[in-house]
């Protein structure tokens, strides 16, 4: 349920506010944040997402992320 009067969209998975300039993982991926979507895609083996998530993990943005080894 989306309220039109509400300016901030939030991730449907984790509740993070989307498109925050101070949060690099908050990009809007169709209603969910990149923080969630990136990890899901990385888990699914999407190379581009995996590489981006890996870099973000190394940069300290995803401290709890663990790369799933095949």
- In terms of phi and psi (left: phi > 0; alpha: psi -120 to 50; beta: otherwise), the region of 19 is left
Nearest distance from C-beta of residue 56 to Zn ion, angstroms: 13
To which H or E segment does residue 33 belong? Answer: strand 32-33
Please give the Cα distance from 24 to 61 (Å, whole number). Answer: 8
Establish if 9 lies at the interface with Zn ion (CB under 5 A). no
Among residues 9, 16, 46, 54, which is the contact residue for Zn ion, using CB under 5 A? 16
Establish if 13 lies at the interface with Zn ion (CB under 5 A). yes
Considering only 5-13, 44-52, 58-66, which stretch makes contact with Zn ion by CB under 5 A? Answer: 5-13
Establish if 36 lies at the interface with Zn ion (CB under 5 A). yes
Radius of gyration (Cα) for the chain, nearest Å? 13
* Interface positions with Zn ion (CB under 5 A): 11, 13-14, 16, 33, 35-36
């Amino acid at each position: 349920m989306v309220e039109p009067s509400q300016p901030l969209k939030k991730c449907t998975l984790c509740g993070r506010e989307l498109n925050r300039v101070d949060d690099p993982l908050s990009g809007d991926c169709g209603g969910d944040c990149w923080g969630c979507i990136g990890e899901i895609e990385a888990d699914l083996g999407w190379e581009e997402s995996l590489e981006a998530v890996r870099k973000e993990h190394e940069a300290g943005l995803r401290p709890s992320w663990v790369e799933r080894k095949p």
